[in-house]
Structure 1
Amino acid sequence: MSDIEKKTDNKQNHLSHPIMRQIDDFFHQGPVRSMIDSIDSFFYQAAFTPSIPVDLYETDTHIVIKANLPGINREQITIDPLYDAIKISVLNDDLLEEEDETKNYYRKERRVQRMERVVPLPFTVEGDKTTASYKNGILTIKTPKQKYKKSTIQIDE
């Protein structure tokens, strides 16, 4: 028996042990598999989805969000007021074409990059009172501060 056959045989014997089969089944069933898949998805997205860097500060009257978006055109930016957050999205769709008749080649590449960032705020965003400007690669969003209304809910006996 060759070394490879011995290793394969040992591995099969190892997985055929009842305890090892139970452990293997445990990690490939229902809730545990779902949890492992969600953890994998989180790390995959975190590693491969670019995020938009932002600075968040407040003045006497406004909350200001500054997003650094170098090389992005104004038309590629979308700002959505959510209930208690502002979502900044960028769809960067580049088309590169090169042609060189002396070397007889033609190249056409398309690159699509999507970035987004949701900035939570401690109040409901009023879209009609929120303003945005974009200059020199810096997106500035200003939304008026609102008073935080604290309320409590009484518990019935």
Structure 2
Amino acid sequence: MKIDDLRENLGQFWGSVSDGWERMRHSASGALTRFRPGEQTQLPERHEIDDPLHFPAQSWTMLGGDVFEDEQRLVVRLEAPGMRKEDFSIEVRDAALQVRGEKRFERESTEGRWRVLQCAYGSFQRTVPLPTAVRGEEARASYRDGVLRIDLPKIEPGRPASVNIRVD
């Protein structure tokens, strides 16, 4: 009887862990973003980094985001710290918002070694599905305190056009 109780409790525990993992994986899958370092990224040379887990060609990070909707608009907010507004390119294409950018490495002003290098640097693309059609040509974007905010006015249901959005 004790073995059966143990099996049942273990089964319930495993089911709970599996359910939690699946929910986290589904929720975070859109936020997991790959960064690809390029010539403009300006990463330190490998011999300047002591961190054995640093692989610049395989940099991934979470660009957390929120999508808010009211009667007039959608508001998309993406956490993208360490960038400038000029680093972003934003486009409404089909039923999605595409945000591209490049996060560049900033060197210290003195000589030394990098002991840990965990931040992702390079170019990225993040696609956010839009739950309703928007007027991309009237969209406004701002970048403040590491958060990119895009306000998208809604239109009647229909296929949105592809439009570039300037960051103010």
Question: What is the TM-score normalised by the length of structure 2?
Answer: 0.48
Distance 1:123 1:48 in 2: 32
How many residues are treated as equivalent by the alignment?
Answer: 97
Deviation at 1:143, TM superposition (A): 0.7
* 2:107 equivalent in structure 1: 96
Give 2:153's match in structure 1, choosing from 136, 141, 144.
Answer: 144
Distance 1:146 1:69 in 2: 28
- Judge conservation of contact 2:85–2:142 (CA < 8 Å) in 1: no
* 1:55 equivalent in structure 2: 66
Specify the code of the residue in structure 2 equivalent to 1:126.
R
Distance 1:117 1:64 in 2: 15
Say which SS state the counterpart of residue 105 (structure 2) adopts: strand
Q: 1:97 to 1:138 in 2, by over 3 A?
A: closer
Aligned-residue identity in percent: 25
- Judge conservation of contact 1:52–1:115 (CA < 8 Å) in 2: no
Q: 1:96 to 1:145 in 2, by over 3 A?
A: same
Q: 1:122 to 1:112 in 2, by over 3 A?
A: closer
Q: What residue ranges of structure 1 are gaps of 5+ in the alignment? A: 1-44, 150-157
Which of the pair has more CA radius of gyration? 1
Q: 1:99 to 1:131 in 2, by over 3 A?
A: closer
Q: 1:52 to 1:106 in 2, by over 3 A?
A: closer
Give 1:129's match in structure 2, choosing from 109, 115, 138.
Answer: 138
Distance 2:69 2:134 in 1: 14
- Bigger relative contact order, structure 1 or 2, given CA contacts below 8 A and separation 6+? 2
Give 1:120's match in structure 2, choosing from 115, 125, 129.
Answer: 129
Q: Larger strand proportion, structure 1 or 2?
A: 1
The answer to whether structure 1 residue 83 and structure 2 residue 62 are counterparts is no
Question: What is the TM-score normalised by the length of structure 1?
Answer: 0.51
- Judge conservation of contact 1:79–1:88 (CA < 8 Å) in 2: yes
Specify the code of the residue in structure 1 equivalent to 2:68.
Y
How far does the alpha carbon of each residue in 1:100-125 deviate from its partner, in whole angstroms, 9 at most, with x for none?
A: 5xxxx899xxx842332111113444
After superposition, the CA RMSD in angstroms is 2.9
Say which SS state the counterpart of residue 75 (structure 1) adopts: helix
Deviation at 1:144, TM superposition (A): 1.1
- Higher mean C-alpha deviation, range 62-71 or range 121-130: 121-130
Specify the code of the residue in structure 1 equivalent to 2:65.
V
Q: What residue ranges of structure 2 are gaps of 5+ in the alignment? A: 1-33, 35-57, 115-119, 159-168
